[in-house]
A and B are shown apart, each in its own frame.
Chain A
Amino acid sequence: MEMEKNSFSGGRRYRNNEITVYWKPDACVHASYCYRELIEVFDPGRRPWVDMNGATTERIIEVVNMCPTEALTWKWNDESKNREISADHTNHVIFRRPELLEETEPIGQVNPVSVKIMTDGPIIIKGDFTFSYSGNKKEMNHGIISLCRCGASNQMPFCDGTHRKIGFEDK
């Protein structure tokens, strides 16, 4: 069966004349950088939810690079430009600014866990830790979890994006 033009295995893609943005919904932890930074392009309430005409390519790249998972990635439509990036120690599909990759410095001999309180959104926990919830116990190595903070998720204890629908706000 022929794949839909704007689909790829695991997600959807959106193009302008310079870049293609890839969206993998299964990887999304609802960190919500994308729509908080650039609702003109990334609007979860709109279909399709990505509008590549909503901002400059430069700005779209900047916001895609903020995504803490691989839910949003991008590459140049011009393959030769992607090869230039790869030579710069980055993958052309999962290209991120290097300064965004390492978020925590070791404290003594231990790599700390990074706990991020997202604006009116979930708790994003990254790193090496033992994670326990409702009788489950998991060893997380370079793991990432996103925990509901609004109290309304349908996938407790994890965030499922409901905070946006109910208008959850930190006060």
Chain B
Amino acid sequence: MEENDNKNSTAIVEVIDNGPVKITGQIVLRDLKKDFTGTLTEVSLCRCGRSCNKPYCDDSHMN
């Protein structure tokens, strides 16, 4: 691997079957409705539409 390869990304976007989408790596998250921007390294986002803490998963899909 190139030492100065700044295009390299280790980010992983994993869609969990019947669950959230889990994203790990260097992330810039923008929520347009809440007008929020943040940098983070791990996040699980709701895919079922039922979370009470959108956009984040709160395990509501299990109910």
Interface residues of A (CB under 8 A from B): 103-104, 106-120, 123, 125, 127-134, 140, 145, 147-152, 157, 168, 170-171
In the complex, A117→B49 CA distance in Å?
13
User: Which A residues are in CB contact (< 8 Å) with B11?
Assistant: 112-113, 127-130
Q: Which of A107, A130, A148, A151 contacts B13 (CB 8 A)?
A: A130
Interface of chain B, main secondary structure: loop
In the complex, A79→B25 CA distance in Å?
44
How many cross-chain pairs have Cβ atoms below 8 Å apart between A and B? 116
A-B contact list, 27 entries, CB within 8 Å: A110-B6, A110-B25, A112-B9, A112-B39, A113-B9, A114-B28, A115-B28, A115-B29, A115-B45, A117-B29, A117-B33, A117-B34, A117-B45, A117-B55, A123-B55, A127-B11, A128-B7, A128-B11, A130-B13, A132-B12, A133-B14, A133-B15, A140-B13, A145-B13, A149-B49, A149-B54, A151-B48
Q: Are B21 and A123 in contact (CB under 8 A)?
A: yes
In the complex, A131→B12 CA distance in Å?
6
